[in-house]
Amino acid sequence: MELQPYLLLSAITFVIGVVGVLSRRNAIIVFMSIELMLNSVNLSLVAFSAFLGDVTGQMLVFFAMTVAAAEAAIGLAIIISMFRNKQTVNIDDINILKW
Amino acid sequence: MGITFSDITSSAPLVSLVLFSFLTLIVESWGKDKPVLSYWVSLLGVGVSLALSFGHLGAGIPVFGGMLLQGGFAGYCNLIFLSSAFLTILLSRGYLERMECHRGEFYILILFSTVGMMLMAGALNLITVFLGIELMSVSLYVLAGFMRKKVRSNESALKYFLLGAFATGFLLYGIALIYGTSGTTDLVAISKLFPQLSHNPIFLVGCGLLVVAFSFKIAAVPFHMWAPDVYEGAPTTVSGFMSTGAKAAAFATFLLVFVRVFDIAGTSLSQVIAVIAAASMIVGNVTAVAQTNVKRMLAYSSIAHAGYMLSGIAAANVEGETGILFYLLAYTFVNVGAFGIVSIMERQDDKKLNFEDYEGLSARRPALAVLMTIFMFSLAGIPPFAGFFGKYYVFLAAVKANLTWLAILGVLTSLISVYYYLRLVVLMYFREGDADLDHSVPRRSMIALAIAAISIVVLGLYPSLIVDLTRSFFKI
Amino acid sequence: MLESYVPIFVMIAGGVIFGVVMVKLNEWFGPHRPNDEKLSTYESGMEPIRSARERFSVKFYMVAMLFILFDIEVVFLYPWAVSFKQLGLGGFVTMAVFIFVLFLGYFYVWRKGALEWD
């Protein structure tokens, strides 16, 4: 099995996620970029797992998916409570505390 | 490979805390709007777990099919996390009642995040490391935004969440690369493979990503940007909990992975960590001098302390490990106490958080002023208190590992820190002012502060109690 | 290896062909007598008012959050279901504990009133 293409794709999508987090200003889109990062890692984990013939990697993917879901729920909740108080989800407007 | 009865008994502190956190959840769901009940159940749970932990300081035993190590190192770290949780729960009740957001979920989340910390310190597998960090962090994201009507608290939670999840991405990628190159997530197996893996570039990239993720969790420069904002906006007692329990857990995992599993002494990774340590000391201390808000000052001071402790990891020798373990315990009592006093001084809507609000406190509230002085002296590292020995041990370790420059830098930056810690003491004692409280301090808060102060003095007078204990973990 | 997938490809192709053929037959042979009523957006419904791109009630987000949380747990149930026989009683007990913990969360959500729409 070729390992390189999977790892390359995973690295590319991971970097797209990182750039998204650093450049986008909408909290929801930033969060979607983070999800992209996590899922690109899942791709490399599955590729490694298939390459090594070892199921640990796939098991870790299940845990990563669950954790990502928990984070998504928490993130949505935090963004909603923010929106209720400030009527915005733009990171540049979130500036009472200086970065 | 099923779960045996001895697995449960050897991990009694962890299992009992998990059960008590479920019990608190049930109690909270059953009796609506009775947070006091949750408070008592959670306090009892932490107390029981703390008592059980004292019986689990002997040799470490792998449990649950080699996923966790209980006893020894993990047992000692559990003491740190549980003390932090215990004092935080005691201090929080009065604070939350005054801030009009006393809800039982607070205690449940403190228990859950403490469980996460205990998993991190006992991890023998990268999967456990990942799950522990996430359980701790997800609970802390919610705790940071616990005052959901307050914009500052929301902001703090959002920043902590976005940057924390970002760090999770790096952590997971690091784990994936290490798994891919070593073929296992078991830390014991990886430690055996480490000599041949340490020349594999992909493996080293994985280690680098783990360093990034852990540095984020301990708030070390250049991954510290979140800390001042999050600590300032979060409920004050939560800031105390994050800067002690969460930081101690991240350090425990850092030690576990980088010193005990990957023997990094003398490698390039050790150099990288030394540079991060130096940067944290300089940035933390210099920026703290310029602060006017006490919570922000404590946040920058916690970045600086992360730098001091990291020099013990960069040294990667027995002295460094025992030094960090001592430092973490001392720092936990000091910082929970300091944030506790700030939480008592604080009023609704973030009032009374600045340095000038402490002017002349000693005239009207002598007990609080004395306690704050003990905490500040200990943070500054003035000899009779525990903070001094913490710094002494980690700098000694750095010198032994040929990192003398780091130790010298540590001493110099500590001198800067004396200025801003003692400024608070001077304001409390030698400046006329009308600092006072408009409420009486609950007795449970005073008890918590007294426990913290007494522990600092005892640890300062008899540091060998802890150092001999921690040194015994490393006889292999 | 690939041969064993042939029935599946045949099945997919059959499904696509059947669907397309039926729609097209109807189009070609069916009577076409359009009038104003038939050509309106919804023949027997309401004209859409306002844009669909507006704010939703926060209640929808609540349901979405709870759905994500309880939905994703199924990823642990599938592997267990596949290897149910090999795992035996130990696996059953472990999953019972897991589902009990989920139930605790459900109980909390229910008692806090998050499942009530109003």
**pLDDT, tens digit (0-9, with 9 covering 90-100), for A28-73:** 889 999 999 999 999 999 999 999 999 999 999 999 999 999 999 9
Task: Report CB contact under 8 Å: B25, C108.
Answer: yes
Q: Quick check: C63 pLDDT over 80?
A: yes
Best mean pLDDT range from B5-14, B16-25, C88-97: B16-25
β partners of residue B293: B354
- Residue B144's nearest CA partner among B244, B245, B231, B247 is B231
Burial label for B415, CB within 10 Å (0-12, 13-18, 19+), is exposed
Our CA angle for B357, B361, B363, nearest 5°, is 145
Give the pLDDT of residue A96: 61
What distance in Å separates the CA atoms of residue B351 and residue B98, rounded to the nearest whole number? 13
C38 touches chain B (CB under 8 A): no
β partners of residue B347: B351
The identity of residue C15, as a single letter, is G
Span A4-93: which CATH code? 1.10.287.3510
Three-state DSSP state, B70: strand
Q: Quick check: B210 pLDDT over 90?
A: yes
What distance in Å separates the CA atoms of residue B119 and residue B136, rounded to the nearest whole number? 9
Place of tokens 């005990």: B260
Q: Of the candidates C94, C105, C111, which has its C-beta nearest B30's C-beta?
A: C111
- Measure A50 CA to nearest chain B CA, in Å: 10
Give the pLDDT of residue A97: 58
Give the pLDDT of residue C42: 66
Count of all residues that appear for chain A in the document: 99
Give the pLDDT of residue B55: 85
Q: Where are the beta strands (DSSP E) in B208-273?
A: none
Q: Of the candidates B2, B3, B29, which has its C-beta nearest C112's C-beta?
A: B29
Of chain B residues 14-33, which have a CB less than 8 A from chain C? 22, 25-26, 28-30, 32
Spatial CB neighbours of B237, under 8 Å, sequence gap ≥ 6: B88, B91, B92, B95, B96, B339, B340, B343
Mutant choice from B15, B21, B29 vs C, greatest count of C C-beta within 10 A: B29
The identity of residue B310, as a single letter, is L
Give the pLDDT of residue B64: 86
Burial label for B234, CB within 10 Å (0-12, 13-18, 19+), is buried
- Residue B195's nearest CA partner among B256, B253, B265, B125 is B265
Partners of residue A66 in chain C, C-beta under 8 Å: 72-73, 75-76
pLDDT class of C73 with cuts at 50, 70, 90: confident
Which chain C residue shows the shortest CA-CA distance from A80? Answer: C58
Partners of residue C65 in chain A, C-beta under 8 Å: 72-73, 76-77
Residue spans per domain, chain B: 10-474
Give the pLDDT of residue B1: 52
Q: Quick check: B2 pLDDT over 70?
A: no
What distance in Å separates the CA atoms of residue B258 and residue B204, rounded to the nearest whole number? 12
User: Are the CB atoms for B44 and B50 separated by under 8 Å?
Assistant: no
Q: Quick check: B25 pLDDT over 80?
A: yes
What distance in Å separates the CA atoms of residue C5 and residue C19, rounded to the nearest whole number? 21
Structure tokens at B292: 């006017």
pLDDT class of B105 with cuts at 50, 70, 90: very high
Q: How far apart are the first and last CA of chain B?
A: 26
What distance in Å separates the CA atoms of residue B301 and residue B291, rounded to the nearest whole number? 11
- Measure B32 CA to nearest chain C CA, in Å: 8
Task: Report CB contact under 8 Å: A64, B233.
Answer: no
- Report ipTM for this prediction: 0.94
- Name the more confident of B371 and C34: B371
The identity of residue B382, as a single letter, is I
B69 sits in which H/E element: strand B68-70
The identity of residue B241, as a single letter, is F
Give the pLDDT of residue B302: 94
Kindly give the residue spans of alpha helices, DSSP state H, lying in A24-94. Answer: 27-52, 56-86
CATH architecture of C2-111: Up-down Bundle (1.20)
Structure tokens at B435: 């600092």
Q: Quick check: B401 pLDDT over 50?
A: yes
Burial label for C5, CB within 10 Å (0-12, 13-18, 19+), is exposed
Least confident of B218-227, B450-459, C45-54: C45-54
Percentage, residues of chain C above pLDDT 70:
87
Structure tokens at B188: 């014991």
Mean pLDDT computed over every residue of chain B: 90
Give the pLDDT of residue B353: 84
Mean pLDDT, residues B71-99 taken together: 92
Partners of residue C111 in chain B, C-beta under 8 Å: 29-30, 32
pLDDT class of A99 with cuts at 50, 70, 90: very low
Q: Quick check: A94 pLDDT over 80?
A: no
Q: Of the candidates C65, C72, C79, which has its C-beta nearest A77's C-beta?
A: C65
- Residue B270's nearest CA partner among B216, B206, B332, B208 is B208
